Structure 1
Amino acid sequence: MSAVVATAAIARAGDAAVGAAPDIEDAKPRADIVLLGVGTVGRAVLTRLSALADVADLRLRALANTRTRLQSADAIDPVAAIERLRDGEAADLQRSIAVLGAQDAVPRVVVDATASADVAACHALWLRQGLHVVTANKLAIGGVAANERAVRAAARAGATVYGDSATVGAGLPLLRSVRALRAGGDRILSLAGVVSGSLGWLFATFDGTRPFSACLREAHARGFTEPDARADLSGEDMRRKLLILVRAAGFALEPDDVTVESLVPEALRDRAAAPTDADWERCDEPLQRRLDSARRHGRVLRPVIRFDDHGRARAGLETLDRDDPLAQSRGCDNRVAIRSTRYATRPLLIEGPGAGAEVTAAALLDDVLSIAASAPKHRSA
């Protein structure tokens, strides 16, 4: 299958090339920000926020984790934020948000770098209150369709923006491309892709020379998986990403419409404690058999999401021909093939880094910058 390829770099360069370069001082974008979550992604947001100081006036007004919060009537220095947060006040989500106030002089943006269901449940409320929300958290729009519709309706009611670029592909132009195709009158026919950076790395690395559980230990040591790898191997993250993509393509799927293959052994699925390294050895024999079978036919194993032209949706491990575009993914890269009425015979293939704190942070702040740039400009003094 041949494909039209669009890399992240090409797509972003194309976006940047539109229009003449503005006068930096006159057009310097401004926004007030509350950052929720200071794990690896949140810390990368702080690092990038500091680096953007010369091109944007993005004021960090508050940051919080599950234990403490730090807020200021003025701006918090991103470089010192983590150290100051250690001596912050007790966590209080709504008080952290309230620091943004009710002013409309500059855009007010909540950046959700958590994986919290409680935080995701507040997205619609904040949007209705006039706060923009930028998120890497998939729970608000990757679950039941009613929640996703509530978020979109709240954004319309509040005249606000819901920045979701980081929810799929860590900032690759996946959602933007799907929406642009539809806006241009195109119809999405099918979608298929490798969208899990952790599973993509695992099955590109798992070549039979060592057990799958050994590859999983390495992935964990490199920080590619969650502390409890069931979050990666259950297929639920892939389901959420598929739902977000398919809904952007105009199809109202529910979670139960997606067939999900879990790679977590049944005995480990409902345990309260995270599985140990020895527990994951249960995966070795069945996955080795699948790998051997694929190799006998000259094929490879890859974790794939798929929505076909009959409306069927699936997330799980697939056996692919070696020359399949989705089989070419390396490391934590993501690849998504989009077939539409425009790209009916040769799918549009979008590829590039699809996991990692730095690229996810960049996607979050790209959405913030887009919101800030669309607001009325303020001339510097």
Structure 2
Amino acid sequence: MSTVTRIRAASSGAREGRIALLGTGVVGSAVVARYRQLLDKGVALPPFAWLSNSRAQVVNEGSLEEAIAAARAASRQSTAVPPWAEGEALARGDIVIDATASDTVAGWHAEWLLRGIHVVTANKLGNGGDLARAQAIVDAQKEGARYGDSATVGAGLPLLRLIRELVAGGDRIHAVEGVLSGSLAWLLSRFDDTRPFSDLVREARDAGYAEPDPRQDLSGEDVRRKLLILARAAGLPLEGRDINVSSLVPDALRDAPADAVDAQLTTLDTPLRERFINAYRNDARLCFIGRFDAERGASVGLRALPLSHPLASGHGTENRAAIFSDRYPDRPLVIQGPGAGAGVTAAALLDDVLRIAHQVA
């Protein structure tokens, strides 16, 4: 059986719906910290019912900080059933915050919505997974529960919401292209051929800008999922196989076991240096771009953009996206801003919580 722990103290609110947090890692911890900050500012938020990870479900009858510490300190369980699936149940009107990257959790999104439980997520494996799953999430919302996925693309930039509002207003999206990975944006904005690219990858990994296994960022898989989410929001029912992904990961690095990844990072250096020099000589800048086009298909990969290009001007971890539509056919609508980090992701998640809470109040 799963571990269900109770932390006793006063509840933090009196709304009918409650919050359940799945994921107590970096993003989950940031959600708890952001929640506390908002409460201290007098923002009315639904109370926390419980939080959970793969080891334990902790019922919030006290300090959220104690609850998350208890969940993170819990021992690993032997059963394959996740604690949140057999612990304290959710009820209609509750709000699940999915701060995981779990395919299993994403598979529950439609089920929760059908039960009248709202879902707020940073997990891209819902709308950015199989098309059948994404469509099930859309269909389940017809029962009245709401789905907040602002944090899945752009760490809360109003990109998804804007695309949906344009479509709802009768606009037709022709194409969207963007710098959608904060990790790759940081790497390429820092890469000037004064240091090997592999050194920057290690720095990004150690600073938390890239995943512990940087192949997850360099492969383009994260950008592919984000592009699927955007395309589907624009009305294009793309499958993952419809997107052509050009990975930055050489074969030797791709096939390396986990304990050999660091040593194989140097295989990035020569091809990235060659592409940088070629771009520099042509007054261009290297950017990792995801693009879908209603007429020409979808792709993800490294491109050399002219310095005048609207996506070539960002810095650090900024995400930037250009929307071409009937309304914006030649000069695209451009959105840019912070696109990585647990803090901005947590803010986006709680923004969606507040939006849902106000809509159903």
Structure 1 and Structure 2 fold alike (TM over 0.5): yes
In the TM superposition, what are the counterparts of 1:145-164 in structure 2 within 5 Å?
Answer: 145-157=131-143, 159-164=144-149
Paired residue type of 2:110: A
Structure-2 separation of matches of 1:234 and 1:89: 33
Structure-2 separation of matches of 1:89 and 1:278: 32
TM-score by length of 1: 0.86
Paired residue type of 1:111: I
Please state if 1:339 is matched with 2:324.
yes
Please state if 1:127 is matched with 2:127.
no
Deviation at 1:88, TM superposition (A): 5.2
Please state if 1:237 is matched with 2:211.
no
Please state if 1:43 is matched with 2:36.
no
Partner of 1:21: none
Structure-1 separation of matches of 2:308 and 2:352: 35
Structure-2 separation of matches of 1:147 and 1:205: 37
Corresponding residue SS for 1:52: helix
In the TM superposition, what are the counterparts of 1:1-381 in structure 2 within 5 Å?
Answer: 31-53=17-39, 54-72=42-60, 75-86=61-72, 93=82, 95=84, 99-102=88-91, 104=92, 107-157=93-143, 159-273=144-258, 275-376=260-361
Tell me the alpha carbon deviations over residues 129-180 of structure 1, each in whole angstroms, 9 at most, x when there is no partner.
11111100001211221111011112223x2111110000000000000011
TM-score by length of 2: 0.90
Structure-1 separation of matches of 2:46 and 2:86: 16
Paired residue type of 1:142: G
Corresponding residue SS for 1:304: strand
Moved more, 261-270 or 39-48: 261-270
Q: Percent identity, aligned pairs only?
A: 50
Checking the alignment, whether the CA contact within 8 Å between 2:319 and 2:339 is kept in structure 1 is yes
Paired residue type of 1:314: S
Checking the alignment, whether the CA contact within 8 Å between 2:178 and 2:311 is kept in structure 1 is yes
Structure-2 separation of matches of 1:331 and 1:203: 9
Q: Measured at CA, do residues 164 and 234 of structure 1 come closer, stay the same or move farther in structure 2, by a change above 3 Å?
A: same
Deviation at 1:42, TM superposition (A): 0.5
Paired residue type of 2:43: V
Structure-1 separation of matches of 2:311 and 2:45: 40
Paired residue type of 1:67: R
List structure 1 runs of 4+ shifted beyond 6 angstroms.
Answer: none
Corresponding residue SS for 1:118: helix
- Tell me the number of residue pairs that the alignment of Structure 1 and Structure 2 aligns: 344
Deviation at 1:93, TM superposition (A): 3.4
Deviation at 1:39, TM superposition (A): 1.1
Corresponding residue SS for 1:207: coil
Corresponding residue SS for 1:189: strand
Structure-1 separation of matches of 2:300 and 2:19: 35
Moved more, 364-373 or 82-91: 82-91
Deviation at 1:68, TM superposition (A): 2.2
Deviation at 1:222, TM superposition (A): 1.1
Q: Measured at CA, do residues 86 and 357 of structure 1 come closer, stay the same or move farther in structure 2, by a change above 3 Å?
A: closer
Tell me the alpha carbon deviations over residues 162-199 of structure 1, each in whole angstroms, 9 at most, x when there is no partner.
11100000000000000111111111011110010000
Moved more, 35-44 or 138-147: 138-147
Q: Output the aligned Cα RMSD.
A: 2.0
Deviation at 1:309, TM superposition (A): 4.7
Structure-2 separation of matches of 1:78 and 1:300: 45
Structure-1 separation of matches of 2:221 and 2:239: 13
Deviation at 1:69, TM superposition (A): 2.1
Tell me the alpha carbon deviations over residues 273-328 of structure 1, each in whole angstroms, 9 at most, x when there is no partner.
25432210001011101111111111110000111352410101001001111111
Structure-2 separation of matches of 1:372 and 1:98: 24
Q: Measured at CA, do residues 296 and 89 of structure 1 come closer, stay the same or move farther in structure 2, by a change above 3 Å?
A: closer
Structure with the bigger RCO (C-alpha within 8 Å, sep 6+) is 1
